[in-house]
Chain A
Amino acid sequence: NAGVTQTPKFRILKIGQSMTLQCTQDMNHNYMYWYRQDPGMGLKLIYYSVGAGITDKGEVPNGYNVSRSTTEDFPLRLELAAPSQTSVYFCASSYLEGHQPQHFGDGTRLSIL
């Protein structure tokens, strides 16, 4: 069972570069989320989607963009990477309504230097 798959697992970027973090799920879940996890902090919601074609901002959306063209895929785009975006990024999905993510990917560890 694949569940939620994130790529890449690790990445180092230079300040000002851009990249896309990929996320795909094979459970046919409508709800998908992007979180970031900073050391010693709780997860913070970046963006979420309640279905294909529908996305909305979370707590910390600045510097990021998302799209949801299919049920399976929910990529996160970083434009003009900044050191403050150094973090571990988790994608999650759920069939539960109301922001209750069930399944998380293994994360992408991103360093901006």
Chain B
Amino acid sequence: GQQLNQSPQSMFIQEGEDVSMNCTSSSIFNTWLWYKQDPGEGPVLLIALYKAGELTSNGRLTAQFGITRKDSFLNISASIPSDVGIYFCAGQWGFGNEKLTFGTGTRLTIIP
């Protein structure tokens, strides 16, 4: 089946730093989604990408749909304490009934 690898698995950064994480697939996707999961809560959809090369922002978050369609990137600028959590990518090959494949997550910790 399709595999998604997220990198890094965990990050320890200081407040104010920029963050970069990525997600790579063994096969092509036509949709990439990025979610954030706060401790003890369910994931929340942050950004959806539908076209290769697309760059989409949501506040301090920017995500890109890789040109090869096998990867996606998420950047967070000027991190703040509420950015702490687990970030998941998810990919989708087709549309309609095609199920999502989720990555295993990048855990972001902010060091005081």
Contact = CB atoms under 8 A, between A and B. Distances in A.
Query: Do the two shown chains form a genuine complex with each other?
Result: yes
Interface of A: 4, 40-45, 58-59, 90, 92, 96-107
A92 B95 CA distance: 18
Contacts, number: 63
A107 B96 contact: no
B95 A98 contact: yes
Interface of B: 4, 31, 33, 40-45, 48, 88, 90, 92, 95-105
Interface on chain A toward B: helix, strand, loop, or mixed SS?
Answer: loop
Nearest to A58: B99
A42 B103 contact: yes
8 contacts: A42-B104, A43-B90, A44-B102, A96-B48, A99-B97, A99-B100, A100-B48, A103-B45
Contacts of A92: 42-43
A97 B92 CA distance: 12
Nearest to A42: B102
